Amino acid sequence: MTSAVIQGQQGTPLHLIEKHAYQGWLEQQPAMTKQWLSATNFKGYGVSVIPANDGQVSAALCVVESLGDYFACGQLASTLPEGTYVLTAALNSADLTAVAFGWGIGAYRFDRYTEKAPARALLAVDDANVLADATRLIEGTSRVRDLINTPASDMMPQNLAQTVKALAEEFDATFHEVVGDELLKQNYPMIHAVGRASVHQPRLLDLTWGDDKHPKVTLVGKGICFDSGGLNLKPGEAMRQMKKDMGGAAHTIGLAYLIMAANLPVRLRLLVPAAENAVSGDAFRPGDVLPTRKGLTVEIDNTDAEGRLVLCDALFEGASEQPDLMIDFATLTGACRVALGTDLPGFFTNQKQLAGDLMQAGEKVSDPVWNLPLFRMYKEALHSEVADMVNSVPSPFGGAITAALYLEAFVGDCPWVHFDVMAWNRRAFPGRPVGGEAMGMRAMFDYLRNRYQG
């Protein structure tokens, strides 16, 4: 994707104003500008292109609710006439980063399979540090979207492996993978069980980067490249967008990119259990009792609750290194969408102070997240008569919580954050087209940068 945000200080003037300041700004404008805005019935909010006497663009006007909203300028790269634009008023670095990010991500197009008209309007930014920060965020978000938007025909476990391997090469990190039956030999039985029915071999992807002397941060991403539901087959409507069930993996790959690109002083480990939940004669079944890497046995109540199965092996491995913080992302439950809707990701954590700090970080970078409780009373719902626990609960109530409690059993006392995300825009907003979306990633990165870089 060609960048729509460039280094520079020359271009068509762009008046970017908050709504409350519009009338004051208007009073200072020449008569021709006032007449034009009046004649075009400009209501003091949105975008207007102001012409010169020769019919060329003299200036552009954009009135927004808040300059700190990271998507306030999400439509400008696509709606303004072709050319380069420069802000007429100086902004603080935080607001300028928000403006640059919104402009740049508004130019995003998923055009792997069909041509789409590119965004033609460029924003010139003179502050090199702001440009670098915004460019990283645009790139990280675009990578997440691209991975989720890619159909399963081109995004199976081996394709995810190629992506993580390329990321490792980009930042001089170490990469290895455990593939197919080797998962059993190296004691990742759940990842193998979920993926064994597919012709695409399941695998655990493992990337490490950074100085071993730095605090350990471990990312774990659910990489179910397509989820049919297994033998508990999903209905067609529910299966339609299941290419996005590796959205958790996409988020952790994007977050790993941001961490390494910003050179945060951490020792990073990325673990992606990747599999296809398919149907064949070798598929795992409801009622099966399966072992885990931790040694706990799990009775399968429903094969469509497979994400927590691949995650539990990877989380136990991640926790074994006693990291300073472990973070997982997963498109885990519809119950979280029922509780919070599709645009607000929920998260669970065993760190109370972190919960508040993370929600504040999300508000600051227009990436809101909401803390849900690890409510202990619901843990008894995971009881099994024949195994240590079940993988899912038949009751429709509290499903996001019981899923998180299942995962917590494999985390121990490791400081941990679990994101349950939709990873998909069901409707379009400025800068956010229908399709794959990064949700909670920028909030988590902002938290990590504040924590480890200060």
Which residues contact residue 130 at a Cβ distance below 8 angstroms, ignoring those fewer than 6 apart?
Answer: 93, 96, 97, 100
Contact between 109 and 8 under an 8 Å Cβ cutoff? The reply is: no
* Residue 383 and residue 314 in contact, taking contact as beta carbons nearer than 8 Å: no
Question: CB of 204 within 8 A of CB of 191?
Answer: yes
Buried b (16+ CB within 10 A) or exposed e, 383-393: eeeebbbbbbb
Q: How many CB atoms lie within 10 A of CB 51?
A: 12
Residue 127, judged by CB atoms within 10 A of its CB (0-12, 13-18, 19+), counts as: middle
Q: How many Cβ atoms from other residues are within 10 Å of residue 9's Cβ?
A: 10
The tokens of 352 are what?
């109370």
Q: With beta carbons less than 8 A apart as the criterion, state whether 421 and 436 touch.
A: no
Residue 320 makes CB contacts below 8 A (sequence gap 6+) with none
- Are the C-beta atoms of 186 and 235 separated by less than 8 Å? no
Q: Where are the beta strands (DSSP E) in 380-436?
A: 389-390, 416-420, 424-425, 435-436
Q: Is 112 annotated in the active site?
A: no
CA–CA gap between residue 275 and residue 249 (Å, rounded):
11
The single residue listed with the structure tokens 């402009």 is: 103
CA distance 327 to 417: 5
Nearest Cα to Cα of residue 366 among 101, 114, 144: 101
3-state secondary structure of 249: helix
Is 180 buried (19+), middle (13-18) or exposed (0-12) by CB count in 10 A?
Answer: middle
CA distances from 286 to 270, 381, 409 (A): 30, 17, 21
Selected catalytic residue, list 234, 379, 449, 451: 234
Residue 428 backbone zone (phi > 0: left; psi -120 to 50: alpha; other: beta): beta
Q: Is 308 helix (H, G, I), strand (E, B) or coil?
A: helix
Q: How long, in residues, is the chain? A: 454
234 catalytic per annotation? yes
Catalytic option among 216, 308, 364, 442: 308
User: What is the spatial distance between Cα 114 and Cα 258, in angstroms, rounded to a whole number?
Assistant: 28
Contact 258, 139 (CB under 8 A): no
* Residues tagged active-site: 234, 308
